[in-house]
Amino acid sequence: MLAVSAAVSAVFGYLAAPPGTPRFMSTLLGVANALAVATPIVLFELYRMHWAFARHMRRWPLLGYLAFKNLYYLVCIVGGTLLVRLAFNGFMGRPFEFDRIMVNSFFFGAVMVFIGTFSFEMGRLLGWVTLTNLLTGRYIQPRREQKVFLLIDMKDSTGHAERLGPVRFHELLNAFFRDVADAALECDADIHKYVGDEAILTWPADATLADGDCLACPFIARDFIAGNGEQYRARFGVVPEFRATLHCGEIVAGEIGDLRREIAYVGDTLNVAARLLDTAKTLHRDVLVSADLLQSTTLPPDLVAEPLPTLSVRGRSAPLQIFALERSS
């Protein structure tokens, strides 16, 4: 992203070079402006979910959140541009002056930040993986892929809804999904969608099986929820718990819809993962994983897998072997 910003700013600097100024120096000034302005903005957008203050900002009213972002971006644009111009003029031995090039630099920076912010917000709305796939047309034609699925389902959601009422339950669900999203970020998962009180996370099978991050993800989500336990108790009188199931296999992915497009996954792999959720409720286990996935990845050292009775799944010729995951004591 910084490279694209620098390239566009280099072109702007080259075309906007005033008479008497070497185009090379104007181009270099454009690149320096882009790096000075874009670097703090890109770092903020990419890593804000890892900062406690930035995570807290997601609970602000939208207008307050946007006002803070605009103020931060304004400081980056003005401060970065002024610092680069002061350094450039000092190097060239020129006095500082607020000229037309400076005004144009401010305007150009604001336009670039607007485009970048819009892109980031679209990525947050659709998910970066989904947005990229839609823009590139990866799934215009359905294609077979190997995927890992993690289904996370809140326990006793009906009871919470009856006790809290629909509005307060929605707030609880939103806070719950924020913590799940933080865990997804930690484990490089893509949030495919939210369905009621359930979140569906995915990984490409070839990219995630080596390190076992997918197996650790539900426990990291549990840690985030526990870390916010006091806030949950103060706001809702309860700390939410969940069941989770993991499975991998082949699915067919493709764009679906016209007025509203999304990428849909079709196949028995997702159905089996959903079937495992029902089994988790029956067996009173919090995290289940299929042998198909467990045998294909690395079990994190702080987890233990307990074998359970095999599960008969419609459409499979052989019973499905499953395991319960727990943290080692």
Using DSSP's 3-state secondary structure scheme, residue 199 falls into strand
The DSSP secondary structure of 25-68, one letter per residue, reads HHHHHHHHHHHHHHHHHHHHHHHGGGSHHHHHHTTS-HHHHHHH
- Residue 3 pLDDT > 90: no
Using DSSP's 3-state secondary structure scheme, residue 5 falls into helix
- Give the per-residue pLDDT at 230: 93
Does 279 or 93 have the greater pLDDT score?
A: 279
Per-residue pLDDT, averaged over 227-236, amounts to 92
pLDDT in tens, 152-183: 999 999 999 999 999 999 999 999 998 998 89
Question: Tokens for 114?
Answer: 């607007």
Q: Partners of 195 in the beta sheet?
A: 198
The DSSP secondary structure of 212-281, one letter per residue, reads -HHHHHHHHHHHHHHHTHHHHHHHHSS---EEEEEEEEEEEEEEE-SSS-EEEEESHHHHHHHHHHHHHH
- Residue 10 pLDDT > 90: no
The vertex-169 CA angle with 166 and 174, nearest 5°, equals: 125
pLDDT in tens, 23-82: 777 788 778 888 888 888 878 776 765 666 666 676 677 677 777 877 888 888 888 888
Structural contact between residues 200 and 192, judged by C-beta atoms closer than 8 angstroms: yes
Q: Partners of 131 in the beta sheet?
A: none
- Give the per-residue pLDDT at 101: 67
* Dihedral of alpha carbons 93, 99, 105, 106, sign: positive
Domain ranges of the chain: 2-126, 141-327
User: How would residue 100 be classed by pLDDT, with cut points 50, 70 and 90?
Assistant: low
Structural contact between residues 258 and 172, judged by C-beta atoms closer than 8 angstroms: no
User: How would residue 219 be classed by pLDDT, with cut points 50, 70 and 90?
Assistant: very high
pLDDT in tens, 178-202: 899 889 988 888 888 888 899 999 9
pLDDT in tens, 118-137: 766 666 655 666 667 666 76
Question: Tokens for 212?
Answer: 């076992």
Alpha helices by DSSP H, 93-228: 100-126, 128-136, 157-186, 205-208, 213-227
Q: Partners of 148 in the beta sheet?
A: 203, 248
Structural contact between residues 303 and 219, judged by C-beta atoms closer than 8 angstroms: yes
User: How would residue 298 be classed by pLDDT, with cut points 50, 70 and 90?
Assistant: confident
Q: Partners of 263 in the beta sheet?
A: 255
User: How would residue 316 be classed by pLDDT, with cut points 50, 70 and 90?
Assistant: low
CA distance 212 to 207: 10
- Rounded CA Rg of the chain: 25
Structural contact between residues 298 and 211, judged by C-beta atoms closer than 8 angstroms: yes
- Give the per-residue pLDDT at 159: 94
- pLDDT, mean over the chain: 82
Q: Which CATH superfamily is domain 141-327 in?
A: Nucleotide cyclase, GGDEF domain (3.30.70.1230)
- Give the per-residue pLDDT at 81: 81
- Give the per-residue pLDDT at 224: 93
- Give the per-residue pLDDT at 290: 93
- Give the per-residue pLDDT at 96: 62
> Is 0.85 surpassed by the pTM of this model?
no
